[in-house]
Each structure stands twice: as C-alpha cells, then as structure tokens.
C-alpha cells in the first residue's frame, strides 16, 4: 500500500549484459581481484573447520553430541566477541590490511596447532579462539573490498564478495571428503596451511600493487 516517495527524474533501466559487464569489470580490477581469492580461501578454510568439526570430533575423539553442541555455543560467543570487541581494538592500532594479515596468520597458526594438542577439549579451545580471528578476517576483507572498489561498482563488488563466500562454502563438502579419504587428521592443518599461504600471497601481491 505504500508508494515510493523519491521522485525519479529518469526511469532506472537494467539489462543482463550490463549487469554482467559490471561483474566482470569488478572481478578483473587489479585492486579487487586478489581480495576475491582471499575471501574464497577464507570461506574454504574456515568453512572446513566448522562444517567438519562434528565428524572430526566423533571419529577422532568419540565426542558426545552434547559436548559438540557446547562447542558450537562457545564458538558463537567467541565469534561475537571477535567482531564486537577485538576488531575495534585492532583497528585503532592497525590499518585494515594489517588487521586482515594478523587475523589470518593467527587463525592459521591456531588451526595448525591442533596437530600438537591431540584432545577434544584442546581442539575445542583452539577452534573457538580461531573463530575470534575468523570474524575479524571476514569483516575486514569485505570492508577492504568495498574501499578498493570503484564507486560505480560498489554494489557489484559486495554482491560478488558474498557470492565468493557462497562458492567457497559449496566447495567445502567436496574438499573435506577428499581430505577425509586420505586422512581426516589432516583436516585442520590443511585449513591452517591454506589460510596462511593465501594471506602470504595476498600480502605480496597487495604490497607490490600499492608500490606500483
């Protein structure tokens, strides 16, 4: 029953070819392309950590369903704390690219550390701590994507960023199955290695781009 109050001087028009061109231009831009790969790596690395936690805990530590449920509750609290408390503190001291780098490195190191703390509660503590940095990494990666995108491509860039996360999460069951076929114990070291290698590549490319 409500009508649009804003008076449009010219009617808005849209076409599939125009929208696709915006998406292609956004993805091809040298300032944003490495960010899409970084966001995809985050989605795969962190998605594996969360989606395969139950299977990993049941098979490796014979954990109970109630204990696993407690973990997800703790993880949700840690995620909220990371975004609401820790992230603003880091951003007062570091730039957004530096905050992204720090969060990725810590998250990767925590997940790799599961190799050396071989217990269910050790896994729970390490992954819960990693969720703090996961929240920071995601929010700042999307923020940097917005900053680096051209004004006319803002909507396309943010939409493509969300699609990149969705694409990474779609890949998670298949990647996890391949790892599980080889050895499920390498699930978390793989996640940590993927995150560290992706942020290392991003830092090298991004710093070179800014110098250029």
Structure confidence by residue, pLDDT tens digits, 130-159? 999 999 999 999 999 998 887 777 777 888
Angle made by CA atoms 41, 17, 27, in degrees to the nearest 5: 25
**Is 53:176 a contact under the CB 8 Å cutoff?**
no
How large a percentage of the chain has pLDDT more than 90? 66
Structure confidence by residue, pLDDT tens digits, 48-101? 999 999 999 999 999 999 999 999 999 999 999 999 999 999 999 999 999 999
Tokens of 144: 């940097």
Among 49, 28, 57, which residue's Cα sits nearest to residue 137? 49
Tokens of 64: 């109970």
- What residues contact residue 183 under an 8 Å CB cut-off, 6+ apart? none
């Amino acid at each position: 029953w409500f009508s649009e109050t804003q008076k449009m001087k010219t009617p808005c028009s849209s076409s599939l070819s125009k929208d696709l061109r915006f998406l292609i231009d956004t993805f091809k831009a040298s300032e944003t392309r490495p960010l899409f790969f970084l966001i995809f790596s985050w989605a795969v690395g962190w998605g594996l950590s969360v989606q395969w936690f139950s299977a990993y805990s049941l098979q490796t530590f014979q954990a109970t369903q109630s204990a696993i449920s407690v973990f997800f509750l703790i993880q949700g609290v840690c995620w909220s704390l990371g975004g609401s408390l820790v992230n603003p503190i880091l951003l007062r001291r570091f730039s957004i690219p530096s905050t992204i780098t720090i969060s990725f490195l810590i998250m990767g190191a925590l997940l790799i550390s599961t190799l050396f703390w071989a217990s269910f509660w050790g896994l729970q503590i390490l992954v819960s701590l990693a969720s703090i940095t996961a929240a920071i990494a995601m929010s700042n990666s999307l923020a940097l994507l917005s900053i680096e995108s051209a004004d006319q491509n803002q909507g396309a860039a943010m939409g493509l960023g969300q699609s990149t996360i969705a694409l990474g999460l779609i890949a998670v069951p298949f990647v996890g199955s391949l790892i599980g076929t080889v050895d499920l114990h390498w699930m978390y070291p793989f996640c940590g290695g993927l995150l560290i290698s992706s942020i290392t590549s991003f830092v090298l490319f991004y710093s070179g781009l800014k110098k250029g």
